[in-house]
Structure 1
Amino acid sequence: MGRILFDTATSANGFIADETNSLSWLFAVENGQTPDDSLLPSGATVLVEGATTYEWVLAESDILAHPDRWAEFHGDRPTFVFTTRELPKPAGADIRFVQGDVASALPEIRAAAGDGDVWIVGGGDLAGQFLDIGALDEIAVSVAPVFLAGGAPLLPRRVESDRLRLVSAEAVGQFARLIYSVRPTSE
């Protein structure tokens, strides 16, 4: 069984999207459009996204009109999208819409991943739900040299230092790459 990873980019002051749920600030950073391959989890066989992330990706790349663009980032990997609404689906994409809590969907997500990793692409609250049920193994953050006035927080949970262990910290281009392993709660 693979790991469950929350791997994302954030502003230096902890926002993963701005006040309009846009990531344009991220793509304006040098190499933000084409991140170094070392910034993406190579062992991920399944992606997980919230509805806001999914809708932003569809709109930003005009994917419904150009469904071939879906594969540029997602490849042919199954993508689970947590939503409470009916959302459009690009032709040919393996998208599985999920309603309900993370714990109920987790067996299906793990089965689809097989021995590979599960990559929580966004958002922070969705990653927090995995953390809440003890199903998050790693948090990898690429910190961009940008400060935002507000927006979607990186992880809207209080997580104390006894739950996180720094695995690595390095500069990758303009980004500070921080990787933490997540320890289970001591309850």
Structure 2
Amino acid sequence: MINNKVVLYIAMSLDGYIARKDGSVDWLDDVEGDESDNGYGKFYDSIGTVVMGRLTYDEVLSLTDVFPYADKPCYVYSRSKQTEDPFVVFTHEPLENLIPRLKDTSKGDIWLVGGGQLVQAFLEKRLLDEIYVAIIPKVLGEGIRLFPKGTVPDTFKLLKIERMGQIVALSYKV
């Protein structure tokens, strides 16, 4: 039996935002982390499948010319028809059907990249196993919240605290 987890791995401002109002994550560019990649490489190596919302997908495409997750199966949730992408499966399949299937077939954990609406849906349907939040010491004042209004209240168990330069990373079991 495969024991893959669904993990939310994400950066958040000190005041709870994962992006600016327009979806931009430029505020992450000048953060003082550790000497390496702040653990991203090790995390990414443990991932077998990537899942994200369409707005997050659009932001990822705006940041680079090369799709950064081309080496992994990637599912993008979208309620509207999208232009085909050779590296992505667009879907609106119910999460409660897709995620258990991916947990059984993925060659590693499933990474929930974002955004807030999808995080909210995963929590509501009890499909998230762990949350890893890198707290960035910046206050944005407004933007896209990690946990949007209406997110089901819950309590998590702290697994680990890490310091990487000015970044504090918190790992929780859901």
Q: Report TM bin, short chain.
A: 0.7 to 0.9
1:21-170 alignment to 2 at 5 Å? 21-31=23-33, 35-38=37-40, 41=43, 42-61=45-64, 63=65, 69-70=66-67, 73-91=68-86, 93=87, 95-114=88-107, 116-156=108-148, 157-160=151-154, 163-170=155-162
Inter-partner Cα distance in structure 2 for 1:60 and 1:75? 15
- Displacement of 1:111 after TM fit? 4.2
Is the Cα–Cα contact under 8 Å of residues 39 and 142 in structure 1 kept in the other structure? no
Give identity over the alignment, percent: 29
Change (3 A) 1:147 1:40: farther
Inter-partner Cα distance in structure 1 for 2:156 and 2:13? 20
Inter-partner Cα distance in structure 2 for 1:89 and 1:26? 29
RMSD: 2.1
Inter-partner Cα distance in structure 1 for 2:140 and 2:18? 9
Superimposed CA distance per residue, residues 102-160 of structure 1 (whole angstroms, 9 cap, x where no aligned partner): 1132244334414x100001112212211111111101000111111211111222433
Q: What TM-score do you get using the length of structure 2 for normalisation?
A: 0.86
1:2 aligns with one of 4, 10, 34: 4
4+ runs deviating over 6 angstroms: none
Inter-partner Cα distance in structure 1 for 2:102 and 2:31? 32
Inter-partner Cα distance in structure 1 for 2:31 and 2:18? 14
How many residue pairs get aligned? The number is 168
Is the Cα–Cα contact under 8 Å of residues 136 and 166 in structure 2 kept in the other structure? yes
Is the Cα–Cα contact under 8 Å of residues 53 and 115 in structure 2 kept in the other structure? yes
- Report what 2:20 is aligned to: 18
Unaligned runs of 5+ in 2: none
- Displacement of 1:7 after TM fit? 0.8
Inter-partner Cα distance in structure 1 for 2:157 and 2:139? 25
Inter-partner Cα distance in structure 1 for 2:92 and 2:31? 34
Q: What TM-score do you get using the length of structure 1 for normalisation?
A: 0.80
- Report what 1:185 is aligned to: none
